[in-house]
Amino acid sequence: MIQTLQKLVELQGLDAEILALGQRMSAIPDTLRKEQGRYEKAVRELRKDELARAETEERGRQIKLDIESAKDHAKQLKSKQGQIRKNLEYQALTAEISGAEEQVVKHTTALDQLGATVKELDERIAARKHEVDAQKAALLAEAEEAKKAIAELNVKLRRHRQIRREVEKTINQDALGLYNRLLKTRAPRVVVPVVDGICTGCNIQLPVHVLSDIMKADRLVTCETCARVLYLTEHLGK
């Protein structure tokens, strides 16, 4: 039975490594998704700034039309000044001309402000494009690394599973069946040592009769609480 315990512990070590390899493989897509998320965020921010720039340019074009319209209106009004004889009408026309000229100044100021905004957006867009390119390169590099890592992990998994199959052949079917059933609910620790009379799987003090059965080492003994297979380290030379 000591030999069976040794083989089960060996099998457990292989299963722990297989589990760890599987977890590492499962984590790779998560890493890629995070890199993809960063890239997509950078693209969204770039598109947002590009849209803002396009909208700002459109407002600028409209303001230029408004400036030309105000200038034309002021010019038309001024052409009428020489035709007016009444003082009140002249004053009203002068006030209207001033209003048109003020509109020109107002629109020109707004156009200058939009120019500054466009310049700021151009600088930000350039930075965004640089970020997008960097994120794309990082994503492609990460994908290539992931491909290599998955290939290497698959090789290791196949090797470990082959070794596991070889070890299984050396264990009697009853013991192997018990181990595999427990593996479904107790992985990765199915076979655990007893330390100071305590099951290290569930940290419960073991009854005297269970400890006595473990010491005999003539059959597999399981914990009455967690059902794990128990052993004494001195039996396995550990």
The structural domains of the chain, with segments of one domain joined by +, span 2-168, 186-235
pTM assigned to the model: 0.66
83-to-60, 69, 89, 96 alpha-carbon distances in Å: 36, 22, 10, 15
- How would you classify the pairing of strands 229-231 and 221-222? antiparallel
Q: How far apart are CA 150 and CA 128, in angstroms?
A: 32
Query: Tens digits of per-residue pLDDT, 162-210?
Result: 999 999 999 999 999 999 999 999 988 999 999 999 999 999 999 999 9
In 3D space, the residue among 168, 214, 156, 223 whose CA is nearest the CA of residue 10 turns out to be 168
Residue type, 106: K
Q: Are 214 and 221 in contact (CB under 8 A)?
A: yes
Query: Tens digits of per-residue pLDDT, 65-119?
Result: 999 999 999 999 898 887 877 888 888 989 999 999 999 999 999 999 999 999 9
Q: What is the DSSP string of 175-223?
A: HHHHHHHHHHHHTT-SEEEEETTEETTTTEEPPHHHHHHHHHTSS-EE-
Residue type, 43: V
Class for the domain spanning 2-168:
mainly alpha
- 204 backbone dihedrals φ, ψ, rounded to 5°: -110, 140
